[in-house]
Chain A
């Protein structure tokens, strides 16, 4: 009896947590463009700290860093999206995102805000141009102050995407 009641409470609490984060997005800048990621992915935001380069990795993997005793790989999202690299400044941030069973840090130009988007405000991505950037986009969010591109975190971190093989080859040849 008591157990069942406790379970019910726990489920409620979980539902509550899910409710509060559902539809919320963390918005960050890359150049002038605003991107958003579902907030449940983002576990931490830290300032840029020393990163140790690891040999044999593709360019967009900046290296590894020490986050409170844990070794976390860092992905430079600018390079991942094929943009030219940029010097880090005091607005540059690392967003720690948790995907499946690992944590990865994403270097972004700056973090701007957390917004709420209704499911109706999110449009599917246009299928027109299949650029590098386009395949990382999961949807287009229409917020009051402009358009945010919603990132598909899974695609950003996972290499097994169409075109990824050539990319890999390219890096290993280098």
Chain B
């Protein structure tokens, strides 16, 4: 039971996250264009509605209350539009709301209790709706701000001029809402503003309390005439509180058919659809709910069975056993409908059978208007439908195939821990393979042609497998980049600057673990660019630049590495200012005059260095750049800065494609074996005694092509006994990390090998092993362990000591 719950929660979180991302995206683009298309309003409304539904199902009431209010707001906007003056307020409200929702999701993820309630946000939404109401119907008698959910505009009910279409509206209320007659009355009041009521059944809702039970059993039926389109009438009815289900059907027999445009809005063929979900999908009721929601955009849902999917988790098992049955009406051709259904997530199969126009009444679920001449029909598909049912799949398959493969259906969600495990296993396999093919036992066997042939084949396959496993873990950086749009927007408003964020290469794939590792650094860099780099519009104009600055985020795959660039066209770096500041902070290690421009830029990444004089909300605490550098180095990457004063600056992040498997060079010192990342090695060479320079404090150095580099004896650094101490017998390896290089003195090179990086055991964490230059370990082909050297921290370690 517990695990089923967990699974549900996981699914909930996953769906929430993607919906919120989608929402953010819509909001930001809409804000940028300063327009809100009907599609977008509809989409936001749908997202809010879905979140409300699923969070209520999961018992996250805070989330559902907030989204409910927002849903109301958008419901209103959808019907009545919104003045562009109100955009700013609306977007602020919505973005704050998404922030709040995200914080709640994080709380759920972290297992923390949710916020008790967010009255502030709810009040804002309600007030905003009131403002909307007020401005839309200026002069209407005081729109009360307390007016809750539905757009109950308390304008005087003026009957719509005769004309328009007639509709029959059948309404079912939620089972336990109580006082059905009162609810029905409220619905009537709401409708009266837009429609004129022709008749109601039961007619005496106001005076007769018994009508409540009648409505409970039979539903509430209304005949109205209105100029509004069918959807709008339907939407008004659906927007009323406690309404569970609304069926609106146009009545043809209206004498004053107006322009006749409305009734044909959504009409067309009626179909009955039998949907089966994937066996393992779980939470079938939620899936069904989401399916219904997505269908609403282009179909009119007449009914579905089981009908209580939203409120009753037990309906999931009913769906598993009997499938989910929808009766709907859509102008789409059947093939399109089939495709829409089949591309919906987790849908295994969908059987569509066309209904004749007359049929739906017979098929409607039991609680229907008593006025309906046909008695309540069985909810199961009538046997008469069997023939078209059988035909449907065959007919539907072909167009689906022609229309190209459905995208969503081919995706599966896998937990990251499983992928990590797969990666570990892959690593073991690579090690074991080299254990077999390089086994010392093989040396004694003279003829092994077939063995080596098979071994080569095996090697090829494991290589391919490894590439495949790695590619599974790759995801595009687009998600990370998208979040930056929001940051740029927020900062523009807070700092009074104008800037555009241009992203390039969002489709570049990077290992999931690395993506997680670069999100924060990129955010820091974008903030820095906005805060320190980009000038105010006035300054920019004075400098002859366009008012609007451009911040560019670019990712590209350069073979073994990913290059991520964050650049701006702001004021750039001033090397002299940097040096002056560095002097003030006392972090210069040599006279300021000796610093090259490049070295001066590197000062930015020293801990505690900040060029900005005052601390702002966003940056300036001087923790930014050194944290960026640390985080990037943690995932094996490097940072470097380029800038031209007055023309902006660029930060380049070089990041490895993956963390787990790297090309290494095995070296030996004393009895022990160490591994260096190939990428860190510049070259290796033998040195003679007279090439070595020794300074006054006994430090050894060597000159390579005109530059002097310190020599670090690994055996001395790690206190290894029995190592070669004669500089002419061992070998020097010139290694580099970022801008700094040293030469390591080791006994000998053993060979190049692909290694699987493993962390050191947790038990050793307390002994500060990483700072002394060992970042992890790996298991060698012979089963021994080699320690992986991290050139960056060796250099840091040595520099500290000097």
Contacts and interface: CB of A to CB of B under 8 A. Distances in A.
Contacts of A71: 758, 760-761, 777, 779, 785
B672 interface: yes
A55 B718 contact: yes
B800 interface: no
Given A61-B767, A66-B779, A54 B760 contact: yes
A103 B779 CA distance: 17
Given A54-B774, A102-B761, A104-B763, A66 B769 contact: no
A58 B784 contact: no
A103 B764 CA distance: 11
Nearest to B773: A55
A54 B764 contact: yes
B783 interface: yes
B768 interface: yes
A64 interface: yes
A57 interface: yes
A123 B425 CA distance: 47
Nearest to B770: A56
A103 B769 CA distance: 18
A90 interface: no
A15 interface: no
Given A52-B777, A71-B777, A64 B672 contact: no
A102 B767 contact: no
A140 interface: no
Chain B CB within 10 Å — which of A52, A57, A61, A104 has the most? A52
B767 A66 contact: no
A157 interface: yes
B428 A54 contact: no
Interface in B392-431: 428, 431
Interface string B540-564: 0000000000000000000000000
A66 B428 CA distance: 12
B485 interface: no
Chain A CB within 10 Å — which of B718, B758, B767 has the most? B767
A138 interface: no
Nearest to B431: A69
B480 interface: no
Contact of A53 (B431, B672, B767, B783): B672
Contacts of A159: 766
B787 interface: yes
Interface in B39-60: none
Chain A CB within 10 Å — which of B431, B764, B784 has the most? B764
Contact of B783 (A55, A56, A64, A66): A66
Prevailing SS type, chain B contact patch: mixed
B213 to A, nearest CB: 38
B763 A73 contact: yes
A104 B763 CA distance: 8
Given A64-B761, A71-B785, A102-B763, A57 B777 contact: no
Given A54-B774, A56-B769, A65 B672 contact: no
B466 interface: no
Nearest to B769: A56
A166 interface: no
Given A71-B761, A71-B777, A54 B784 contact: no
A50 interface: yes
B680 to A, nearest CB: 18
Interface residues of B, number: 27
A82 to B, nearest CB: 19
B787 A58 contact: no
B769 A52 contact: no
A52 B761 contact: no
Nearest to B432: A69
A39 interface: no
A52 B764 contact: no
A102 B762 contact: yes
B786 interface: yes
Nearest to B783: A66
Interface string A62-82: 001110010111000000000
Interface in B726-763: 758, 760-763
B772 interface: yes
A72 B761 contact: yes
B767 A64 contact: no
Nearest to B671: A53
A101 interface: yes
Contacts of A73: 761, 763-764
Interface string A40-62: 00000000001011111110010
A69 B764 contact: no
Contacts of A66: 779, 783-785
B758 A54 contact: no
A157 B720 CA distance: 25
Contacts of A101: 762
A103 B428 CA distance: 19
Contacts of B110: none
Given A52-B672, A101-B762, A64 B785 contact: yes
B785 A65 contact: yes
25 contacts: A50-B783, A52-B672, A52-B784, A54-B760, A54-B767, A54-B787, A55-B769, A55-B772, A56-B767, A56-B772, A57-B764, A57-B767, A57-B769, A58-B767, A61-B764, A61-B767, A64-B760, A64-B777, A66-B779, A66-B785, A73-B761, A101-B762, A102-B761, A104-B761, A172-B768
Given A52-B784, A52-B785, 12 more contacts: A52-B673, A54-B764, A54-B787, A56-B772, A61-B764, A64-B760, A64-B777, A66-B784, A71-B758, A71-B777, A73-B764, A103-B761
Interface of A: 50, 52-58, 61, 64-66, 69, 71-73, 101-104, 157, 159, 172
